[in-house]
Structure 1
């Protein structure tokens, strides 16, 4: 496919924005394309940036709001002027800042209105109904350092005037990802993540944790069932990322930070405080696929010695950061996972390679 593409010789180039005071946490692009692509970029501590000329110039559009720490940004599929921004980076580094809820713009980011969910502190994902922009779902992961009840999945049917908590586990378990079936918007997939950051360690999976997993609703969030058949045992599940193939919505992928022990530490690793804290080397990044709408999952990577070595290095000890996976909307076998490098698979997740020039 690559050899036959007219774009096979094109190289990646940096478009910006620059000087954003931290990591980029999300990207949203207006579709269909107009004269140029309009792109929005969310950052960990630098607010939201917009370009209307495909990255030639960028303008900050969120500097006057109460928080410039952004967890997610979403554009209404039915109206590109409607933009939602969830504040509070959900990756919860020590340097992450708390957010103050969710904002909405109806004029392409010129003005913003605060729409509540103030005490969520971190918002990981926003998903909008494809036809009705007043129906919005929010995955709130909650406070970084302490327990709180304002976390889970929230829904509004009136454009953010009121919110209903439709999925809640407990004060230590928030929602960290969401996906919607585009052919049946009442079908939703949510990921819960049990975590809290402590002053002396990263937000890793603890032996007593059992609440991280994947949930499914077929009635717009009124009821949910857990769909974890084939995934690691609950005690081994760390952060999970999920995505759905838009052209074949029965196909889903999950990137699981897997805490099963893979091997003992080397002497060099024992000197690394981050690795040493785990006591042994965990499997880390593992990729699962479902072909039946999440009813059953199967491990697709790593299954070979080469892929085990590659994915072991993919996230390192930072699987709690890189919980992002994306499926090509037109090709269910082309999958991207985020890590220390960004990696791509062209064979349904069996093998991955680094995305580079």
Structure 2
């Protein structure tokens, strides 16, 4: 499907294919116009219209209860890609759905090879198969398998939330893209553990919520987040918090994982916030530069205005002086005329 950043059909892969495989039609060709390497389109690559048809088909699929999760939640109809598939979903998709889905989309030889690859086990070496069988007989594997079976036979069939096969990070990303807000731990827990009819998924979830309500503080405050952490039983040995899933590292520190030296992958929300922070910094810098330029311009304008004001005041003062002299001159002229007239009448 040529998903950017996910596809393995790269220039390097095509070069290796030219060395080890006899598929000359897929070899990289050099363009004579701009001296660039050109990858011929492989027969197993879907066009945009084919990807849209495939995504629509998967989005509308219905399965028997317990056969698979709702794959329609794992389809991105805008970018025409799949995401958030759990291991069992991938197993069902590859073995049961993929040959059927691509039967009408790809050439017959590609579909035939795909069926052979999926249905046969010759691609796995004997050594690898022996190693997998050996792992299944270990005490640790048996212990985890027994716990998983016990969970599946419980009242909730192993389901302790209502988000389906969508991971917590992906669900949080969708919520952020839609509402532009980050939920508090308590709100997130209620969103993923309370059913539409208002009932909780199990008794433990209800007990945690009731315990949280007793200690709840101001929404979004540090005290409120700590109240949920205390109600949920604190941080587990694996560094997770009950009800938070893969978002535990975003809401709460994970000291245990850090001590073991494991590198924590960044949360999708953290990445979004970092990008948003970087964008805000750039916008702030641009605004500061514009403000600085405006201040400089205003300073120059103020200086020019002050000079013009001083020049105007000087001109006004000169005009007053000229008017005073003219008034004095006119007064003296009138007095001399009146005196002569008086002498003549005498």
Q: TM-score, normalised by structure 2?
A: 0.25
Larger Rg: 2
Would you tell me which structure has more helix in proportion to its own residues? 2
Would you tell me which structure has more strand in proportion to its own residues? 1
Q: TM-score, normalised by structure 1?
A: 0.24
